[in-house]
Amino acid sequence: MELALYFPNLGYYTRDNIEIGKEGDFFTASHLGKVFGILLVRYIKILWEKLEYPQNFSITEIGPGMGYLCEDIMEELLNEHNITTSNFQYNLVEINPYLKKRQQERLAKYLDYIRWYSSIDELFNLNGVVICNEIFDAFPVRIFEVKKGKLFEVYVTIDEKGDFIEKLMPARKETFEFIQESAQHVLEIDGYRSEINLRMKDFIEKLSKAVKRGFLLIFDYGWNNEEYYNPQRNKGTLLCYYKHTINENPYINVGLQDITSHVNFSVLQKWANDSGFKIIEYMSQSKFLVSLCDEQLLERLKKQELIDKFKRLILPQGMGETHKVLIFFKS
């Protein structure tokens, strides 16, 4: 998964010509008109006030994709809320130089206010809001499998014909310790297979070091630990997206299809807490976005013909219930 998604220049997220949205393989909330950005600005303004309008307030977006959300947030802040850009800065963390170029073209109007970084390691002293929209589901995971009460990890190799094949090897120490702590019950279920996303721990620790005082907003799809390692969910959550179709085979279209797994929000919360963040909210995307809505806004969405897009963000058959929001604070 690491190689397929992130191998320099050839991985799904590191290659040239990657497209997200209609021309690509999947949609995210940022691609549903301006609604997500309009609503997020309402929330950002609340958080800005809570932070008592610090001098160096920043909005930092990790993995901004095609740059739509940044464009919508900037436009909304400047045009609808008359915020002058001299009192805030927008940081974008983009690992792919090709996407950075696309973002620079899209955001040409706002270049004076935006700063690009190629890794979260470069961020420091942030006062403000950090946004991660569908980032954690894109981290490489380890797949484990239980066989006769023993824990194995799934490795990948090639056979004599050069085809990818899976090979089970004894689980590494970290995998074993994780399962002991978070999902011991699965050791009794023969054939049980799922994922663990250890990369989240390192990532959230780095984010915590980068934030001096502020809020972290995480939007992603997933469940709490109990739901995640439900005995019935015995095939895990790994899915691949290719040209708006879903498959469960990461060994095809390598480097050309997205590979994702659902996020374990309990574990993410624990690691965030251990690294200095305090949880403020955990709720469905639907509940979060609806709480930011009022009649005036609904009227505006109707006028701008954005109601259908709003529905896709909040209805259960859209992203409303699959996607959750986690909000953390650090000071």
- Give the binding site for ligand SAM (CB under 6 A): 13, 20, 28, 30, 62-65, 93, 95-96, 120, 133-135, 138
* Closer residue to ligand SAM in complex, CB, 54/140: 140
Rg of the Cα atoms in the chain: 20
* Closer residue to ligand SAM in complex, CB, 65/128: 65
> Residue 225, class by beta-carbon neighbours within 10 Å (0-12 exposed, 13-18 middle, 19+ buried)?
middle
Angle in degrees, 0-180, between the axes of helices 307-314 and 35-50, rounded to the nearest 10: 70
**Min. distance of Cβ 296 from ligand SAM in angstroms?**
27
**Min. distance of Cβ 281 from ligand SAM in angstroms?**
20
* Closer residue to ligand SAM in complex, CB, 179/263: 263
First to last CA, the chain: 35
**Min. distance of Cβ 137 from ligand SAM in angstroms?**
7
Distance CA 13, CA 18 (A): 7
* Closer residue to ligand SAM in complex, CB, 136/178: 136
| Secondary structure class of 243 (helix, strand, coil) | coil
* Closer residue to ligand SAM in complex, CB, 147/243: 243
Phi, psi for 327 (deg, rounded to 5): -125, 125
**Min. distance of Cβ 93 from ligand SAM in angstroms?**
5
**Min. distance of Cβ 62 from ligand SAM in angstroms?**
5
Distance CA 206, CA 210 (A): 6
Distance CA 267, CA 253 (A): 31
* Closer residue to ligand SAM in complex, CB, 59/138: 138
Give one DSSP letter per residue of 44-113, joined into a string: HHHHHHHTT--TTEEEEEES-TTSHHHHHHHHIIIIIS---GGG-EEEEE-S-HHHHHHHHHHTGGGGGG
CA 294 vs. chain centroid, Å, equals 27
**Min. distance of Cβ 208 from ligand SAM in angstroms?**
15
